[in-house]
Amino acid sequence: MYTESLVKLGKVRSEIREIFEYGNQRKAQIGADKVFDFSIGNPSVPAPQSVDDAIIDLVEHFDSVALHGYTSAQGDAAVRNAIAEYTNQRFHTTLTGNHIYMTCGAAASLTIVLNAVLQKDDECIVFTPYFPEYGVFMERTGAKLVEVQSEQGTFQIDFQNLDAAVNEKTKAVIINSPNNPSGVVYTEEKLKQLAAFLEDKQKAYGHPIFLITDEPYRELVYDDTKVPYMICLYDNTFVCYSYSKALSLPGERIGYIAVSPKMTQFEDAYAAVCGSGRALGYVCASSMYQRVIEKCIADTSDISIYKRNRDLLYQALTEMGYECVYPDGAFYLFVRTFGQDAHVFCEKAKEYELLLVPADSFGTPGYVRVSYCVQTKQIEDALPAFRALAENYR
């Protein structure tokens, strides 16, 4: 009676949500401070004061009907212009508001773009480890998701594996840097190589291959790490941006798509984004939060807290004998499991009240994701449990 694939999707929670729900039950049983929940990527750092100030200012001074009313389907023109201008200042691009489409977060940005470019039997490449929802976002296009294994250990792009996977059906490639779940940031050298590789393949197959950059973690980088802006390196790029993590606003659902000005048949590309947004019902992102973004365009939440967490966790776990990928960005530590089976390892971790996510569904068995966007005290309190877990395997 109902669409079977969607009934199925609605009944199975993602593995991350399963663990998160288990954590909530466990906290109710034994107390929240006794459970070390590293499962979900929900920022614990509050949004900056400027967000609250902007909301108050808008409520007090902005026309109430306009504030809560519909904007244009693709977003308010002044907001889109402000995003374009800010991006141009940062990356020397030539965007205008007409290259921007406001969305309710990266999930919507990705679903819109994937549905705009993918058709039945097309192939879309993702690099392991990758965000498992990509498969869900593209499911109704009938296109195939193709996993390409990244370089062992570094989790940078492996061009031999990529070359073996690309063929005439390849229509799109998704990159996510800083990466969930590895924390890896692709180097500029690798990204230039990717751009040149895709240029060659476009020529060879005689059709565009779209690069879709999934960027909720762009601002979450530590030390001097740089995240190259792909519109500067590759013409057929769609940027899927979100303020969920950068401004700690995941529940407010706000982000945007930037379509490269040099995109093949740009007008049709932007129209396809608008049409896809319309078909999916993603028109007019939150009117109030669009205006909040306009006021807080250059702000982020306090990223130094994540850096402190990263340093603490990485150092402590490596000293205990865990093999960890060094994360230059995002707020995840990717840890090799003791023993082959990440599910078995995570079950064992639960005995110490440590909630970790097995990375099998990210396409990388033998690893777990430790989400460190938590209070620093939770990490400090959890260290004896991590130590006991490691000792269990000696």
Q: Does 300 bind ligand PLP (CB under 6 A)?
A: no
Return the DSSP state at 322. Answer: -
338: tokens are: 């003791």
Q: Does 183 bind ligand PLP (CB under 6 A)?
A: no
235: tokens are: 């013409």
Residue 206 DSSP SS3: coil
Run of H or E including 62: none
From the list 19, 102, 106, 349, which residue makes contact with ligand PLP (rule: CB under 6 A)? 106
Q: Does 214 bind ligand PLP (CB under 6 A)?
A: yes
Mention every residue, 6+ apart, whose C-beta is less than 8 A from residue 52. none
**Strands of 122-242, DSSP E:** 123-127, 144-148, 170-175, 210-215, 237-242
Laid out side by side, the sheet with 332-336 consists of 324-325, 332-336, 367-371, 357-358
Q: Does 327 bind ligand PLP (CB under 6 A)?
A: no
Q: How far is CA 73 from the centre of its chain?
A: 24
From the list 141, 244, 286, 371, which residue makes contact with ligand PLP (rule: CB under 6 A)? 244
State the nearest-atom distance from the C-beta of 41 to ligand PLP, in Å.
4
State the nearest-atom distance from the C-beta of 134 to ligand PLP, in Å.
8
State the nearest-atom distance from the C-beta of 243 to ligand PLP, in Å.
7
Mention every residue, 6+ apart, whose C-beta is less than 8 A from residue 349. 355, 356, 368, 385, 389
Q: Does 255 bind ligand PLP (CB under 6 A)?
A: yes
Q: To which residue do tokens 């982000």 refer?
A: 255
From the list 250, 277, 358, 363, which residue makes contact with ligand PLP (rule: CB under 6 A)? 250
**Number of residues engaging ligand PLP in binding (CB under 6 A):** 13
State the nearest-atom distance from the C-beta of 206 to ligand PLP, in Å.
31
From the list 44-52, 101-109, 269-277, 317-325, the region that binds ligand PLP by CB under 6 A is: 101-109
State the nearest-atom distance from the C-beta of 250 to ligand PLP, in Å.
5
End-to-end alpha-carbon separation of the chain, Å? 53
Which residues here bind ligand PLP, judged by CB under 6 A? Answer: 41, 105-107, 131, 176, 180, 214, 216, 242, 244, 250, 255
